[in-house]
Amino acid sequence: MLIVFHPMADLIFRRDVWHSERIPASGPVIIVANHISIADPVSFARSVWDAGRIPQFLAKNTLYRGLFGVVLRSAGQIPVYRSTNAAQDSLRAAVAALQRGEVVCIYPEGTVTRDPDWWPMVAKNGVARLVLAVDAPIIPIGQWGPQLTHDYHTKTWSLFPRKRTVCNVGEPVDVSAHRGRPVTAAVLQEITDEIMFSVRRQLVEIRQEQPPAEFYRDARSGVEE
């Protein structure tokens, strides 16, 4: 995947990465980010690569079609089959990758945000299940800029001139208070919200704007239990 994404990132973006030193140089890491464009995995993956780590993405299974699917599978990326029995296979694959000391990257929202102002929307709780399964650092990243290259709302591309993108890497999210508690829907939601609040704080630093009081809730997507 990086053979494709590495040069592509410089071809289509003018990239800035803030605080890349916060990504641990070794050992298992869970990296979570907001999802604002179908183009943002390119800058996201390159930012992780430039920090000296090889990212493995948990990506929805519909992306594993055609040529792009071949690239993803050959790079060992992890397909997610939401709302099916195979969803547990995705979780097990991610746990196994972390147990091998690898980096797993997740978009907790599950898809590009539908918020009209590009703020994060309500996230799925799969990230909380992974966090409870493996005690690994949870690194939040706020992304901004790729939506100018591909606007999901209008389904339009604007490749030139190259757009500036920023990946702002935050401090690890502390979820230690939740470990050892019974895994209930409420606990999963608390963990998910804490992670997304941290991701949003990184985005606020970039945008220097006040976010909405609540995460946007898309009528077509519910929180997975």
Q: Identify the CA nearest to 106 among candidates 138, 60, 58, 49.
A: 58
pLDDT score, position 74: 46
Q: Around Cβ 187, how many Cβ atoms within 10 Å?
A: 16
What are the residue ranges spanned by the domains of the chain? 2-207
Q: Which runs of E-coded beta strand occur in 94-195? A: 103-106, 138-144, 150-151, 156-157, 163-169
Q: Around Cβ 12, how many Cβ atoms within 10 Å?
A: 21
Mean of pLDDT over the chain: 87
Distance CA 141, CA 201 (A): 9
Can you give the pTM of this predicted structure? Answer: 0.88
CA 194 to chain centre: 15
Which of the residues in the chain have pLDDT under 50? 67-68, 70-71, 74-75, 222-225
pLDDT score, position 34: 97
CATH superfamily for domain 2-207: Glycerol-3-phosphate (1)-acyltransferase (3.40.1130.10)
